[in-house]
Amino acid sequence: MKILAPLEAMSAGTPYAESFHSVLQRLAATHNVSFTRLLTFIKAINETSTRARVFDLAGSLMGTGAGARGLVATYHELSGAPDLTGHTLQYLANVISPRATWAFTPSQRWCPICINPDKAEGYGQFAHMLRQVHSCRLHNMRLRSLCPECDRPQSYIASIALHPLCSHCRAPLWTKSSDGAALSRYDAWAEGQLYELVGYLSDRDRAKPSGTWLVDAADTLRQLGDEAIARFQGRDSSQAKLLRRQPKYGYTLPILLWLAATHSTNLVDIILRPREVLSGVFPQLAPVRRQGERRYVSPAEGWKILEELARRLIDQKRDVWLPALSTLSPLLGFEGLYARNRELTLRYNKARAQQVRGAIALECDRRFVLLALEGLSIKKVKHYALERILSRKQRELPAVHQVMVARAAEITRAGIGMLVVIPSQQLQVCRSSAWRASRR
């Protein structure tokens, strides 16, 4: 007996395929019940536990574990709808570890155009749930994760695609939009690979990975890990160490993306033909790499750069503007200078207190960030603290202070030896702590 509506996933076989999570949300709206009630009915969440309802819900519905596989089968049995396995990560169960729930974002993200009632697509894209996807390729818009009014995240219980209102303050979530995210070359490439992966998984006509993928590729991956330890350094070396540890259930998406980058191939080919595209040695090619982007800086080195920069600014305090450390630190990506060098922090704050305060100080910090970012569009900034600074009201600034701010920005760029950019991953901060601090 079929008791659920047989809904089909939208845009199947394309990079913009609908997620199984979105299908269930549309199903709840079709039956005029809440999303929570529907999940309870199909045993997706525990009815007696309120906190467990939203914990790891994306991984439970979309991951590679047995729970997600059972939910897809249950919906197929109760509705007679086509199999929706391709709108989850189930086909990668023998490639990616069941702990791949970390592949999903902890809260929902959305494209302002996709959820706009006047231009809405009416469904949530599968790719938008993946951590390494930062923009909507359909509309070239940066994905948002916080309400534009109350700065709170939206849990996966909220039906954003159908009811694009904040679950806390009921403000519309489509009011603020921005251009595509400012990504490094590697991150932009990885994002494109994940969109391609979504199109591959949701295409029923394409062959799916072998059930013995991990066994077939085990020797090749171990050999690659042994070679990479001596050949690579930094992040690449850490990825190689993970290759040498043969997992029992599978790898993670970042490791597979790294393999595709170092072999100048794509993620889908590694999943379909691991023996053919993964040779026993790293090819002598020019792969898609992080070279040419901001170099990796260790925390110890980053703090030294920050300390040296603070000293240089203090020495020229009569000629330059001293930005707040809470403004300077996010630009470099290393915070917590007070805990590391309390004496220098107190000295810096004392020198800053001798300069102007109030609205002029806030405007100086805002212009300092603009100049330090070298004309990068405000809409492309990924750091929460910098977004708060750049969103301040613009004020008139005396010419003397404009010169001081310009000198401070020039010293900052010279201090780190390169133009300041915003890496998509390194400079993201914990939203909850920043939000609480802003509300104190």
* Overall number of domains in the chain: 3
Q: Of residues 143 and 294, which shows the higher confidence score? A: 143
Specify if 13 maps to a domain: no
Say if residue 230 is in the same domain as residue 330: no
Specify if 14 maps to a domain: no
Say if residue 134 is in the same domain as residue 215: no
Residue 136 DSSP symbol: E
Say if residue 48 is in the same domain as residue 115: yes
The pTM score is 0.65
Question: In Å, what is the CA distance from 393 to each residue of 121, 360, 366, 367?
Answer: 34, 11, 9, 11
Say if residue 273 is in the same domain as residue 307: no
| DSSP 3-state of 326 | helix
Which of the listed residues 142, 166, 201 is the one where a domain comes to its end? 142
Specify if 189 maps to a domain: no
In terms of DSSP bridges, do strands 141-142 and 135-136 run parallel, antiparallel, or are they unpaired?
antiparallel
Which of the listed residues 93, 113, 142 is the one where a domain comes to its end? 142
Specify if 11 maps to a domain: no
Question: In Å, what is the CA distance from 143 to each residue of 31, 176, 180, 291?
Answer: 29, 11, 8, 26
Contacts of 115 (CB under 8 A, 6+ apart): 160, 161, 164, 173, 174
Say if residue 325 is in the same domain as residue 416: yes
Do the beta carbons of residue 413 and residue 130 sit within 8 Å?
no
The closest of 326, 331, 332, 330 to 302, measured between CA atoms, is 332
| DSSP 3-state of 153 | strand
Say if residue 116 is in the same domain as residue 220: no
- At residue 91, the pLDDT reads 92
Do the beta carbons of residue 42 and residue 68 sit within 8 Å?
no
| pLDDT tens, residue by residue, 391-410 | 788 888 888 888 888 888 87
Query: Does residue 432 register a pLDDT over 60?
Result: no
Query: Does residue 428 register a pLDDT over 50?
Result: no
Say if residue 74 is in the same domain as residue 112: yes
- At residue 193, the pLDDT reads 92
Query: Does residue 294 register a pLDDT over 70?
Result: no
**Rounded CA separation 288/259 (Å):** 10
- At residue 274, the pLDDT reads 84
Question: In Å, what is the CA distance from 401 to each residue of 18, 61, 128?
Answer: 52, 54, 43
Per-residue pLDDT, averaged over 222-239, amounts to 71
**Rounded CA separation 57/67 (Å):** 11
Specify if 251 maps to a domain: yes
Task: Band the pLDDT of 58: cuts 50, 70, 90.
Answer: confident
**Rounded CA separation 181/380 (Å):** 5
Neighbouring CB atoms inside 10 A of 374's CB total 11
Query: Does residue 419 register a pLDDT over 50?
Result: no
Query: Does residue 436 register a pLDDT over 50?
Result: no
Do the beta carbons of residue 389 and residue 369 sit within 8 Å?
yes
**Rounded CA separation 4/60 (Å):** 20
Say if residue 358 is in the same domain as residue 273: no
- At residue 420, the pLDDT reads 39
Specify if 33 maps to a domain: yes
> Among 74-83, 105-114, 138-147, 330-339, whose mean pLDDT is lowest?
330-339
| pLDDT tens, residue by residue, 370-386 | 787 764 544 445 566 77
Q: At what angle do helices 253-262 and 185-202 cross, to 10 degrees?
A: 110
Say if residue 133 is in the same domain as residue 24: yes
Domain of residue 431, residue span: 299-439
